[in-house]
């Protein structure tokens, strides 16, 4: 899987197809998270969330990871143009081959990333990220979903089928269908604290928390 080919075009594609809807999902819970000291962002893409993350927490250490070298280059350029690059480490790699540090991060972020993987891959990724998270860590997730019933579900299914077909051709995406990550986060002792649903049920933004009573 590689988003290198799409990297130069991703911003205008997102703008035309979704406007600011995805960005609103990414940033929905920034003001609800206790100020973190060590942040891990996997699958950041071209850095739109990274910029807002750094704006919110100027002194936090951030590890920004992605499999696409070109996406990371765009993300780095975006924050350095603001003079906010200090304290940010850019990590290029395959999350499935990544060796996680033990309980290092108090905030994990996976926006529009977990939907790229097959169920067995997703379980492995959740375990790796869970291992890297501190005992009281928060986890922010923004992604697509299909509502359970009605016309909203039919609409979402049509959009998701078209989306997966396109990204499988353009990026060699492993997944053919959407797998909800909830059970895998729960297996790693994260509890869903709050969820916001938008765009007729197609989009959701989650705040998961570990160490909740």
Average pLDDT per consecutive 10 residues, the chain (213 residues; last block may be shorter): 90 92 97 96 97 97 97 97 97 97 97 97 98 98 96 96 95 94 97 97 97 70
Give the residue ranges of DSSP H helices in 82-118. none
Listed residue (21, 81, 77, 85) closest to 53, CA to CA: 85
Element (H, E) at 62: strand 61-66
Report pTM: 0.96
208 contact partners, CB below 8 Å, separation of at least 6: 138, 139, 140, 141, 185, 190, 191, 192, 193
What's the pLDDT score for residue 1? 84
Token pair 């509502």 in the structure block, residue = 147
In words, the CATH class of domain 7-210 is alpha beta
Please tell me the predicted confidence (pLDDT) of residue 213.
55
User: To 5 degrees, how large is the angle CA 153–CA 161–CA 186?
Assistant: 65
- Which among 208, 209, 210, 199 is positioned nearest to 25, based on CA atoms? 199
């Amino acid at each position: 899987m590689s988003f290198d080919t799409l990297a130069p075009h991703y911003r205008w594609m997102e703008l035309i197809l979704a406007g600011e809807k995805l960005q609103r999902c990414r940033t929905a819970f920034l003001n609800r998270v206790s100020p973190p000291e060590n942040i891990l962002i996997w699958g950041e893409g071209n850095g739109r969330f990274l910029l807002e993350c750094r704006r919110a927490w100027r002194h936090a250490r951030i590890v920004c990871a992605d499999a696409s070298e070109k996406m990371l280059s765009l993300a780095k350029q975006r924050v350095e143009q603001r003079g906010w690059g200090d304290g940010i480490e850019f990590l290029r790699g395959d999350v499935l081959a990544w060796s996680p540090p033990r309980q290092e991060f108090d905030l994990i972020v996976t926006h529009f990333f977990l939907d790229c993987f097959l169920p067995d891959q997703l379980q492995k990724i959740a375990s790796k990220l869970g291992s890297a998270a501190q005992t009281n860590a928060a986890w922010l997730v923004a992604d697509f979903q299909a509502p359970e019933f009605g016309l909203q579900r039919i609409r979402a299914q049509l959009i998701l089928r078209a989306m997966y077909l396109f990204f499988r051709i353009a990026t060699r995406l492993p997944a053919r269908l959407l797998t909800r990550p909830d059970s895998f986060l729960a297996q790693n002792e994260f509890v869903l604290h709050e969820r916001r649903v938008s765009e007729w049920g197609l989009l959701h933004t989650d705040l998961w928390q570990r160490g909740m009573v």
